[in-house]
Structures are given as structure tokens and as C-alpha cells.
């Protein structure tokens, strides 16, 4: 398939959804139509490829979705696609619909799948970074992250009101199993007192001592942000109560961070990257991932893009401590 002229492309969203995925699909479809290509959407990510669940898309199919959260193509995790048998069925479905190339919108796991389709099955693929985690190499931002950070920030601002009024220590759990990016951003943006992330060993003793010292000089409320992969908010809160004897509550923000209307930066990023992914395929650059670095479209090998991005963790953590 690799050297064939591309006349029709496929598009799917895979893994955890994020705000801006619809805007990305819209840009892929409309760019493809602009270049005279046909487009097939696959429903529920790689599951749709395996189960032959497809929908033909045109310019009108993606009207009025740029502002909508979620993904109208639905998304799923597909353990079956990790096996050769699942991938074989997926390739057969692509052939059935005469799809010559595929745009995969998702996170690092979805990228690994797109890389397999390219390297093992010779399907021209391009990956588009759709995840709230902002943990993909080759792009400064992933689609959905900006909205998720804003959603979490809004919630923490409200928590601060009650925390300050009732003189409590709040532990707020945000999303991120392997990535502390959201936690770092919201901790800095909300003026939180501490942040606990998977990438960095956390000194709990120092936290308890800091709370006691702060209390001695009149500090009455705290916000501690914890990324879900680094600890559970209820456990951190219980321990704070046990050691410091001060009042503490916890909040798990959970999946509200994945929903909602995408912010302007997410819509714009999704639109630029959606168009760039089609350009990339048409230039014959396959097995690639598109991103934005220093506000310019950046293209890397899909295999390379499956690794984590580098966040200035020390700078963030030092700032949080300095400004507390
Ligand atoms: P995300 O793309 O958000 O990181 P997942 O890690 O759940 O989400 O991956 C989404 C899907 O991508 C998986 O359900 C699976 O179908 C596919 N996938 C993940 N890892 C691999 C892999 N190593 N090889 C092939 N496919 C994979
Ligand atoms: O990868 C995106 C993400 O939202 C992570 O931040 C989170 O850990 C995970 O997905 C949650 O997955 P699920 O929706 O399966 O609970």
C-alpha cells in the first residue's frame, strides 16, 4: 500500500478522549475533501477497524462540531488490536473500504498501534496527539490538555474559596497516571502549596513539617495537588490529618477533566494539526506524527513519538515552593 497514490483516507480517535478531538476530525475531513480525497471514519478507535464499524464522511458530516467536547466518532481501548490477529482484521477492513492511508488521533498507546500498522502492515499512517496528558514527544502541546488544565483550575479556584473560609487543607487529585503535566500546570496556575507527581519522589515528611511551620505563622489553608499516578488523594489527606492533626478534605476531579467545550488554543491546535496530517500523507511522509514545536508544525517518526515529552519539572516544583 505504501507507494500507491492516496485517494481515500481513514480517520479514527483512540484511547482516552479529550476536548478538541472533534475539531481535529473536522480539520482532517475538510482538508482531505479540499484535496479531492474521500474519507471514511472508523467508530470506537481500533475496535471499529476490527469490527468493520465505519461511516463515510463528507464536508457536511463535520459541521457544528468544532466546539463540542468528546469525539463523535467515539473512542475505545482495544486490547484485541495489540494482537496480530486483530491487526490483520483491521487491515482487511481498511482494504474493504479502499482506504489508502489512516490518521490516528490519540495518545502514545494509539501511536504505538499506528506505528505497527505502518511498520508491520505497510499502511501509510499519521498520528495526531489527542490526549489530555501532554506526554507525547515531538509536540509542545497535545490536543485537550489546555482545556483539561483550565477545567481543573476552575474547580480548584472554587475549592480554595471553601478551603480558605473553613481553614482546611485540601488534597486535590487530578488526572495523569504516568504524566504529572496536568498536576504541575494546575498547581502553578492555582497557586497550590505542593504538588505530588509520578516523575519525582515526594518528601511527605517535609510536607507535614511545612504545614506545622506554616500554621505557626498564621497560614490557615493549603492546597496540595496530586496526580492520580503518584498517590490517592484520600490516603494523602488521611495521613495529613493523622500526622498534623489539622482538618483536611480531599477531592478527586476525575473525568470532568476530559469533557467540555475545547478552549481556543485546543481548537486552533487541533485544526492546524488535522490539516497538517493530511498534508503529511499527501507529501508521502508516512509513519509520522505531527505536532507543534515553537509554534511551527513539527513532524517526527511515529516510533520516536511514542516516548514521553520532557517537562521542566524542577523549575515548576521550585517555583511552587518559592511562592508558597
Ligand atoms: P492512549 O492512546 O490514550 O495512550 P491507550 O494506551 O489505551 O491510550 O492505547 C489505545 C489503544 O492503542 C489500545 O487500546 C490498543 O488498541 C492500542 N495500543 C496501545 N499500545 C499498543 C502497542 N504497544 N502496540 C499496538 N497497539 C497498541
Ligand atoms: O490518558 C488519558 C487519561 O485521561 C489519563 O490521564 C488517565 O489516567 C486515564 O486516561 C483514565 O482512563 P479511563 O478513562 O480508562 O479511566
Residues 27 and 92 in one domain: yes
Name which of 81, 104, 131, 139 is nearest 305 in CA terms.
139
Cell 495489540 -> residue: 82
The ligand 2 atom at the shortest distance from the C-alpha of residue 107 is 1
Q: How far is residue 268's CA from residue 64's CA, in Å, rounded to a whole number?
A: 15
Beta strand spans in the chain (E): 8-13, 38-42, 54-57, 101-106, 125-129, 169-174, 194-196, 222-227, 248-252, 288-293, 296-301
Q: Are residues 94 and 128 in the same domain?
A: yes
Instruction: Give the catalytic positions in this structure.
Output: 133
Q: Which residue has the cell 504524566?
A: 179
- What's the number of domains the chain is made of? 2
Mean pLDDT computed over every residue of the chain: 95
Reported as a pLDDT band with limits 50, 70 and 90, residue 70 is very high
Average pLDDT over residues 240-246: 96
**212-221 residue pLDDT tens:** 999 999 888 9
Q: How far apart are CA 175 and CA 7, in angstroms?
A: 39
224-259 burial, b at 16+ Cβ within 10 Å, e below that, comes to: bbbbbbbbebeebbebbeeebebebbbbbbeeebbe
CATH number at residue 53: 3.40.50.450
Ligand found nearest the CA of 108: 1
Please check whether residue 144 is in contact with residue 132, taking contact to mean a CB–CB distance below 8 angstroms: yes
Cα(263) to ligand 1 centroid in Å equals 26
Residue 117 has pLDDT above 90, yes or no: yes
Mean pLDDT across 55-79: 98
Instruction: Tell me if 311 is assigned to some domain.
Output: no
Band of pLDDT at residue 303, cut at 50, 70 and 90: confident
Please give the model's pTM, rounded to 2 decimal places. 0.95
Number of CB atoms found within 10 A of residue 5's CB: 7
Q: Tell me, what DSSP letter sits at residue 60? A: G
Does one domain contain both 33 and 71?
yes
Q: Please indicate whether residue 82, judged by its CB atom, sits closer than 6 Å to ligand 1.
A: yes
Same structural domain for residues 18 and 118? yes
In a domain, 78, yes or no: yes
Query: For 150-199, what is each residue's pLDDT tens digit?
Result: 999 999 999 999 999 999 999 999 999 999 999 999 999 999 999 999 99
Minimum CA distance residue for ligand 2 atom 10:
16
Give residue 222's domain range: 146-259
The reply to whether 195 and 292 lie within a common domain is: no
Q: Is 94 exposed, middle or buried (0-12, 13-18, 19+ CB in 10 A)?
A: buried
* 43 shares a domain with 75: yes
For residues 237 and 273, state if they share a domain. Answer: no
What pLDDT sits at residue 2? 45
Which pLDDT band, with edges at 50, 70 and 90, does 304 fall under?
Answer: confident
Q: Whose CA is nearest to atom 25 of ligand 1?
A: 113
Buried b (16+ CB within 10 A) or exposed e, 105-125: bbbbbbbbbbbbbbeebebbb
Q: Is residue 316 part of a domain?
A: no
Closest CA to 145 of 159, 133, 127, 128: 133
Calpha distance 281→221 (Å, rounded): 53
Same-domain status, 12 and 153: no
Statement to judge: residues 271 and 136 lie in one domain: yes
Q: How confident is the model at residue 209 (pLDDT cuts 50, 70, 90)?
A: very high
Task: For residues 292 and 158, state if they share a domain.
Answer: no
Q: How many CA within 13 A on the CB side of residue 196?
A: 24
Question: Do 313 and 199 form a contact (C-beta atoms < 8 A)?
Answer: yes
Residue nearest to atom 12 of ligand 1 (CA): 110
Q: Are residues 74 and 23 in the same domain?
A: yes
**Pocket residues for ligand 2 (CB within 6 Å)?**
16, 107, 131-133, 175-177, 228, 258
Are residues 167 and 129 both part of a single domain?
Answer: no
Beta carbons within 10 angstroms of residue 85's beta carbon: 10
Amino acid at each position: 500500500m505504501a507507494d500507491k497514490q492516496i485517494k481515500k483516507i481513514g480517520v479514527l480517535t483512540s484511547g482516552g478522549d479529550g476536548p478538541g478531538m472533534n475539531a481535529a476530525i473536522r480539520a482532517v475531513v475538510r482538508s482531505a475533501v479540499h484535496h479531492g480525497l474521500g474519507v471514511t471514519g472508523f467508530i470506537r478507535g481500533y475496535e471499529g477497524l476490527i469490527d468493520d464499524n465505519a461511516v463515510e464522511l463528507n464536508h457536511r458530516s463535520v459541521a457544528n462540531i468544532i466546539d463540542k467536547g468528546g469525539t463523535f466518532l467515539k473512542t475505545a481501548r482495544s486490547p484485541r488490536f495489540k494482537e496480530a490477529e486483530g491487526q490483520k482484521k483491521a487491515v482487511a477492513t481498511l482494504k474493504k473500504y479502499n482506504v489508502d492511508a489512516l490518521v490516528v488521533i490519540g495518545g502514545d498507546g494509539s501511536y504505538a498501534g499506528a506505528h505497527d500498522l505502518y511498520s508491520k502492515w505497510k499502511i501509510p499512517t499519521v498520528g495526531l496527539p489527542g490526549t489530555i496528558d501532554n506526554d507525547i514527544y515531538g509536540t509542545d502541546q497535545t490536543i485537550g490538555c489546555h482545556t483539561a488544565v483550565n477545567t481543573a483550575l476552575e474547580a480548584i479556584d472554587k475549592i480554595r474559596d471553601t478551603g480558605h473560609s473553613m481553614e482546611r487543607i485540601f488534597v486535590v487529585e487530578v488526572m495523569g497516571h504516568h504524566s504529572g503535566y496536568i498536576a504541575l500546570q494546575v498547581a502553578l496556575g492555582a497557586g497550590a502549596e505542593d504538588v505530588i507527581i509520578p516523575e519525582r519522589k515526594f518528601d511527605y515528611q517535609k510536607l507535614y513539617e511545612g504545614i506545622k511551620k506554616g500554621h505557626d505563622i498564621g497560614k490557615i489553608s493549603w492546597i496540595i495537588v496530586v496526580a492520580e499516578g503518584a498517590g490517592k488523594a484520600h490516603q494523602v489527606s488521611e495521613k495529613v490529618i493523622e500526622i498534623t492533626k489539622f482538618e483536611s478534605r480531599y477531592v478527586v476531579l476525575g473525568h470532568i477533566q476530559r469533557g467540555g467545550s475545547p478552549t481556543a488554543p485546543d481548537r486552533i491546535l487541533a485544526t492546524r494539526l488535522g490539516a497538517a496530517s493530511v498534508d503529511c500523507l499527501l507529501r508521502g511522509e508516512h509513519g509520522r506524527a505531527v505536532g507543534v514545536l515553537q509554534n511551527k508544525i513539527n513532524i517526527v517518526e511515529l516510533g520516536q513519538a511514542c516516548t514521553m515529552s520532557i517537562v521542566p519539572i524542577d523549575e515548576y516544583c521550585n517555583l511552587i515552593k518559592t511562592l508558597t
